[in-house]
Chain A
Amino acid sequence: MKNCLVVDDSKVIRKVARHILESLDLTVSEAVDGQDALTKCEACPPDVVLLDWNMPIMSGMEFLQALSTAKMAARPKIIFCTTENGISHIKAAVEAGADEYVMKPFDRETLESKLAIVGVI
């Protein structure tokens, strides 16, 4: 079973994402900010990270930067999941190393299609 780390400071978003991801047969863990996510990735790398942009302590972009130099056996796929929907934000996320981009609000079909595109399901 593949693992997904949901990184978001909103408890509601984490809960909604968990519900959808578990229905797609993924094991889900959660992190409340980029720093928390980095610690969890180094301890036990997930297959995919669903990553919020704006978070306290360490943002999604800062997390991506830190992840690029982190010592990990395998780099997880990164799906940015944010309310920022401008094309400049999307391009910045891709240039920083995001594999996919989802804009909130999202539904099951959207997440499922993005997970298929990155090859996790």
Chain B
Amino acid sequence: MPLPPAGAAIFQGAARILSGLLEARTGQILSEGRAWRMETALRPVLRAHGLQDIDDLAAMLLRKRDPRLDEDVVNALLNNESSFFRDLQIFDMIHRQILPRVQEHRQDRTLRIWSAGCSTGQEAYSLAIRLRNDTARWQGWRIEILATDISTAAIEQARAGIFSQMDVQRGLAVGDLIKWFEPHGEDWRASPDLRRMIDFRHDNLFDPRAPSGEYDLLLCRNVLLYFTPERRGDVLRLLARHSHAGSVLLLGAGETVIGQGDDFQSHPEFRGGYARKALTPDCAGGPMRRTA
């Protein structure tokens, strides 16, 4: 059997160090499908830090001299792919079915939404746009949208609300582009009104400190697929802690709660949505109880 080239063997070693860093920092595993593009994703990091190749990078990480390097590597390896109104039918269901149901039950006229693993913010902005386009319905309501992601770079971009031409073309209707965005050089920027609606935070889904309170709608789409089954269970437990009996959880099209713990079950009304399993009398406070 021919031996692999020396460089290939060394690269495998470097790849192990890099994927180990990603897992330690984020809980995400680097699947084969993502590993092949590791070198391309890390090219800007190599340039910025004056490093020759992946082996140099791994060696520098092991020396632990530059904490900024760790963060840059993690940001580069995370998949920040996102688009406005991704899976349009989900947004239609949210606004035609799920939110009207929340509105019927919520007596304190407060709507709380959490976009967990929000990447560069398109999901949260899509929700904000739909809510703002329906101001009459939400008159007198307090609306809180929390959007969190592990990537500091993604959160910075989301907070700035600046998107490329290609970004705004994917899923954003031209009417919403004109209404809610303004030209920003070659790019487009979300209006201050829209940006003010969303609280973007850098956050780790395994950090027990964050966030606080319970949410009526939780979106954690295309996030679980990057975790091991054990970690998926941890994330769902965290989401359950921030849900109440009337909350709705939405996952990505290829994701499920089945086999990932006992906290959620298929929602009886909303196709593809999940509801908290019945709470024990001690911890259930009614359909719209709130803790924060």
Contacts and interface: CB of A to CB of B under 8 A. Distances in A.
Contacts, number: 40
Contacts of B85: 113
A101 B182 CA distance: 16
A100 interface: yes
Q: By CB atoms of chain B within 10 A, which of A86, A102, A106, A114 has the most?
A: A114
A103 B169 contact: yes
A117 to B, nearest CB: 5
A110 B170 contact: yes
Contact of A117 (B88, B165, B178, B182): B88
Interface string A74-105: 00000000000111001101100011111100
B41 interface: no
B166 interface: yes
B6 interface: no
A1 interface: no
Nearest to B87: A116
B175 A94 contact: yes
Nearest to B169: A110
Interface residue tally of chain A, by bracket? Answer: 20 to 34
B169 A102 contact: yes
B292 interface: no
A87 B178 contact: yes
B178 A110 contact: no
Q: By CB atoms of chain A within 10 A, which of B83, B170, B182 has the most?
A: B170
Contacts of A109: 83, 170
B170 A85 contact: no
A113 B170 CA distance: 6
19 contacts: A85-B165, A86-B183, A87-B182, A87-B183, A90-B177, A93-B174, A94-B174, A94-B175, A98-B174, A100-B174, A101-B177, A102-B169, A109-B83, A110-B169, A113-B88, A113-B169, A113-B170, A116-B88, A117-B171
Interface of A: 85-87, 90-91, 93-94, 98-103, 106-107, 109-110, 113-114, 116-117
3 cross-chain pairs, A with B, having the tightest CB-CB distances, nearest first: A101-B174, A113-B171, A110-B169
Interface of B: 83, 85, 88, 165-166, 169-171, 173-175, 177-178, 182-183
Given A98-B174, A100-B173, 14 more contacts: A86-B183, A87-B178, A91-B178, A99-B174, A101-B177, A102-B169, A103-B169, A107-B166, A109-B170, A110-B169, A110-B170, A113-B85, A113-B169, A113-B170
